[in-house]
Amino acid sequence: MKLFYSPFHTFVHKVLVTAHECGHWDDLDRVATFPFKNLLGEDQGDAYSIAAINPLGKVPTLALDSGQVIFGSQAVCEYFDATSKARRMYPEAGPKRWDAITRLAMSDTIFETTVQMVAEQWQEPKQWNMVLFESVWPKFIRALDKLEQDAARGWDEFDVGQAAMLHAISYLGFRAEFYEAKDPIHPNFKWRDGRPALSDWYDEAIQRPSVQSHFEKDFTDDGSAARCQQAVQDVLARQKEHAS
Ligand SMILES: N[C@@H](CCC(=O)N[C@@H](CS)C(=O)NCC(=O)O)C(=O)O
């Protein structure tokens, strides 16, 4: 199966973590896709567009060997879990599952909002939507404080909620350096300050083989637009085959 995703390994990708935990790592053909290059004016020809297989053109997008396409990171994680050849990342129905998927939703909101804030900083500062930054930060602080309380209690098993926490927190942690942009409200935000349990949990969790599989490791495969478009064509061909 092919996973179209942004191969920036400066942060943890929860879909890669989930694929690895569920025993699918070696089944994945990872296809480098850069959806923001177009926005940044680096990809005038839309060379990395995957719109032919995902109308939203977003990553992550998973294409099964049958040609079926699954997108939305939560849907992709659920697919890996439901077809797991190893451990499960979604607890059985009950309080632990509701807790895991709530942390998943909260962490994904933090990640996606951080992406929006970063994209805002690609514009001239005078054009920044300050309402965005002002409304988001109190939510981030409360959410991280809630995760600190959760981490202090601890978890029995590593779950999809923790994979999403790693994704969101690692992205928050590196963004200032990576994007060379400064947040207008918390230019030097340090999520660890005042959150010792979350900090200890993070340091332990990033040692997991599923995280070490990619985190802070260079993407060494072919990251060209030609390879991405070839992969899109392969998926379309599979779809045609299965339709006939
Ligand atoms: N809710 C989606 C969000 C995915 C998303 O926003 N991906 C971004 C990259 S982090 C993207 O592909 N943006 C390109 C675009 O919106 O055109 C998910 O969880 O998969």
Position in ligand 1 atom list of the atom nearest CA 60: 20
Confidence of residue 185 (pLDDT cuts 50, 70, 90): confident
For a mutational test of ligand 1's pocket, the pick from 39, 59, 111, i.e. the residue with the most ligand atoms closer than 8 A to its C-beta, is 59
* Residues 11 and 27 reside in one and the same domain: yes
The count of structural domains within the chain is 2
- pLDDT exceeds 60 at position 113: yes
Nearest protein Cα to ligand 1, atom 13: 58
* Residues 205 and 179 reside in one and the same domain: yes
Classify the C-alpha dihedral 186-217-18-119 as positive or negative: positive
* Residues 149 and 230 reside in one and the same domain: no
- pLDDT exceeds 50 at position 177: no
- What single string gives the DSSP state of each residue in 138-189? HHHHHHHHHHHHHHHH--SS--HHHHHHHHHHHHHHHHHHHHT---SS-TT-
* Residues 74 and 164 reside in one and the same domain: no
* Residues 194 and 146 reside in one and the same domain: yes
* Residues 183 and 221 reside in one and the same domain: no
pLDDT tens, 189-210?
889 999 999 999 999 999 999 9
Position in ligand 1 atom list of the atom nearest CA 39: 17
pTM > 0.75: yes
Position in ligand 1 atom list of the atom nearest CA 76: 20
* CATH code for position 222: 3.40.30.10
* Residues 118 and 189 reside in one and the same domain: yes
* Residues 76 and 157 reside in one and the same domain: no
* Residues 116 and 75 reside in one and the same domain: no
CA of 15 to the centre of ligand 1 (A): 13
**Containing domain of residue 110, as a range?**
95-212
Nearest protein Cα to ligand 1, atom 19: 73
pLDDT tens, 57-111?
999 999 999 999 999 999 999 999 999 999 999 999 999 999 999 999 999 999 9
Confidence of residue 125 (pLDDT cuts 50, 70, 90): confident
* Residues 234 and 125 reside in one and the same domain: no
